[in-house]
Structure 1
Amino acid sequence: MTARPRPRKPSGRASLPAKWLELQVAAPQVIAHRLGRMATAGPVLSVRDQREFTHMLTEKQAAFWMSWWAMGTELCRIQSELTQASLQGVLTGQPAWIGMSWWQWPTAFQRVLESGLTPVHRRAVANARRLNRTRR
């Protein structure tokens, strides 16, 4: 008897619209779970609730800063590409503005948005999975 092969996870990253849609589904689930937990917690929090509420605050701060860092890094990459293209244009005798064509700007903007959305998406989807597994 041979073992069945495991199903492969899809390779590559999800696109920006797919991440946005997953975030729109996951975030309300997490908010509803946590608000329900806050409503039923009472004046004296259990250790589990204290841990969850503390985790909630620290992970939001971490996701925010990771998002800003990722967008800044992506902007630096784009600036580097623009500089390289401009220098290449100078060396070949073309005008400097030819380096990055106007139709490439939406792609660059999408890269910045996607890099900023990725940490938030990762946290929200992971929290939705984790909180949907736990008892209320």
Structure 2
Amino acid sequence: MIAERLMRFAAAGANPSVLDQREWQRMLEEKWAAAVQGSWAMSGALWETYYDAWFSVMSGAWTPWSMPSPADWWVRGAQSGERILSAGLAPVARTVSANRRRLARRKG
């Protein structure tokens, strides 16, 4: 779909049609909105990770025998990283899927 859109813009050259201009504007607005939504989602997931780590450390201060091992911290860190990235990419994935459906309807 991306290649198809870009080829269409390239074929229009210096004089794109009104439809091409609208599509280009829509594409830019969608990408901007998805990037902003993704950054907010990643920020929220990052704060959840900080809270979980803080809570885990504070719980261990009261019950040292329940403190996670260093290996557990590594696993939690990797899972947190995946959760943060997934949260950031979810709006982009939704936008891409919606565009694919919309462009397929218009094409066929």
| TM-score bin (small chain) | 0.7 to 0.9
More helix by share: 2
Match of 2:107 in 1: 135
Per the TM alignment, residue 116 of structure 1 is displaced from its structure 2 partner at its CA by 1.1
Match of 2:68 in 1: 98
Provide TM-score, normalisation by structure 1.
Answer: 0.67
Give the count of matched residue pairs: 106
What is the aligned counterpart of 2:55 among 84, 89, 109? 84
The answer to whether 1:112 aligns with 2:84 is yes
Provide TM-score, normalisation by structure 2.
Answer: 0.82
Q: Over aligned residues, Cα RMSD in angstroms? A: 2.4
* SS across alignment from 2:15: coil
Identity across the alignment (%): 38
Gaps of 5+ in 2: none
Contact kept in structure 1, 2:9 and 2:16, CA below 8 Å: no
* SS across alignment from 2:107: coil
Contact kept in structure 2, 1:75 and 1:112, CA below 8 Å: yes
CA distance in 1, matches of 2:47, 2:10: 44
Per the TM alignment, residue 95 of structure 1 is displaced from its structure 2 partner at its CA by 7.6
Report the CA distance shift for 1:99/1:81 in structure 2 as closer, same or farther (over 3 A). farther
Per the TM alignment, residue 133 of structure 1 is displaced from its structure 2 partner at its CA by 1.9
Match of 2:27 in 1: 56
Match of 2:5 in 1: 34
Per the TM alignment, residue 42 of structure 1 is displaced from its structure 2 partner at its CA by 4.4
Alpha-carbon displacement from aligned partner over 1:55-110 (angstroms, at most 9, x marks no partner): 11111111112111111110100101111111111122x18963882222221111
Range with bigger deviation, 100-109 or 74-83: 100-109
